[in-house]
Amino acid sequence: MDRAKVLIVGGGIAGLTSAIALRQRGFDVTIVERDPQWSVYGVGIIQQANVVRAVAELGILEDYLAAAFPFDAVEMFAPDGNPIAIIPSPRLAGEDYPSQLGIGRPALQRVLGDRARTLATEIRLGVTVEALNDDGEGVAVRLNDGTAARFDLVIGADGVNSATREMLFPDAPKPEFTGQAVWRYNFPRSDDVQNLRAYTGRIGVGLVPLSQDVMYMYVTTPEPGNPWLPLEGRAAAMRKRLEGSAPQIAPLAEQITDDEAVVYKPLEALLIEGPWHKGRVVLIGDAVHATTPHLGQGAGMAIEDSLVLAEELIRAETPEAAFEAFRQRRFDRCKFIVESSVAVGNYQLGRSDHLDYPALTREMFERTAAPL
């Protein structure tokens, strides 16, 4: 499918990495993104070994390294703060590169957005798709700004609440609230935080280095009924949920004072067991396999999707054949991540009595180290 004309719906991680992979292979790519400000959370994200390998294949690893903090292991602690395991991860991009990275979401957005634009991707902000008409030979698209265009295929990379998914599969399962939320907050990095530090227990806490100067904390907590929390008072609410946490965490909790710096997000999960495409329109990333953050693989699965889809589009004679092959290669891996991440959350919620978190983390590294 050389030089096909592609519309990508969504300008987040999945959409931008898809654009980069497709432009590198000669496709004509347009992104439409509904947010006119193209804004992202101000905290961070973990990019694990398989992601480092994937961005190396995309040719943007050096850009990542310049904006990120490298590390090679996960340090795990019991709820009382005592160490229980150090789990190394493989250097999948080669011995000269780290196995994992912590990177701020704004920095990641700049890296991906700048590279997509350098590759002459058309990016239109504040634009949504109002209608898709697939006639078998192409897709006629009507946009909310009154314009219309025709594309050879459309990629729905518009996240867990995907409007593209609703157009294609209105009866498909909806994202399900898991019973938890995640809280995130940035701090000055402590010198001893050189790797991801994960504190196990019913309340999950982690520290992730993002740069020489900054790290962020994530906290997963039970939130029965999925309450709406106003901005005012969020810092106090986050501190409250950290009461009784490990001794290493208590001094940091006292520093959580800025309501606007607290990022609070209810956790949802979704796995579409049926088709991921209809005709010439396909879904990727959170639109079909949204995971909770317990294994740190949400962005990783989306970036891997982008590479695999681009590879299959080059090989196949039709979009439909490429989409079938794409799902075949991706489903089992994504299913493992979604279900295993939910299992961690269920343990934290008291829905199961036992979880060997270090063993599950090791299995995750083994599975994601396998070739795409």
Residue 86's pLDDT band (boundaries 50, 70, 90)? very high
Q: In the predicted model, is pLDDT for residue 128 greater than 80? A: yes
Q: Give residue 297's domain range.
A: 5-46+99-174+269-369
Question: In the predicted model, what is the mean pLDDT of residues 228-256?
Answer: 96
Residue 37's pLDDT band (boundaries 50, 70, 90)? very high
Question: In the predicted model, what is the mean pLDDT of residues 150-164?
Answer: 98
Any idea what the CATH number is for the domain that residue 318 is in?
3.50.50.60
In-domain check, residue 242: no
Question: In the predicted model, what is the mean pLDDT of residues 148-174?
Answer: 97
In-domain check, residue 205: no
Lookup result for tokens 């101000």:
42
In-domain check, residue 60: no
Six-digit token pair at 35?
Answer: 């947010």
Terminal CA-CA length for the chain: 21
Supply the pLDDT for residue 179. 98
Mean predicted lDDT score pLDDT of the chain: 97
Question: In the predicted model, what is the mean pLDDT of residues 291-302?
Answer: 96
In-domain check, residue 80: no
The 8 Å CB, 24+ separation contacts for 88-94 are 89/48, 89/49, 89/365, 90/49, 90/365, 90/369, 91/49, 91/52, 92/49, 92/50, 92/52, 92/53, 92/369, 93/49, 93/52, 93/53, 93/56, 93/61, 94/56
In-domain check, residue 362: yes
Residue 2's pLDDT band (boundaries 50, 70, 90)? confident
Q: Could you give the percent of the chain with pLDDT greater than 90?
A: 98
In-domain check, residue 252: no
Supply the pLDDT for residue 246. 96
Q: In the predicted model, is pLDDT for residue 1 greater than 90? A: no
Question: In the predicted model, what is the mean pLDDT of residues 316-339?
Answer: 97
CA distance 217 to 225: 24
Supply the pLDDT for residue 3. 82
When divided into structural domains, the chain yields a total of 1
Question: In the predicted model, what is the mean pLDDT of residues 283-307?
Answer: 97
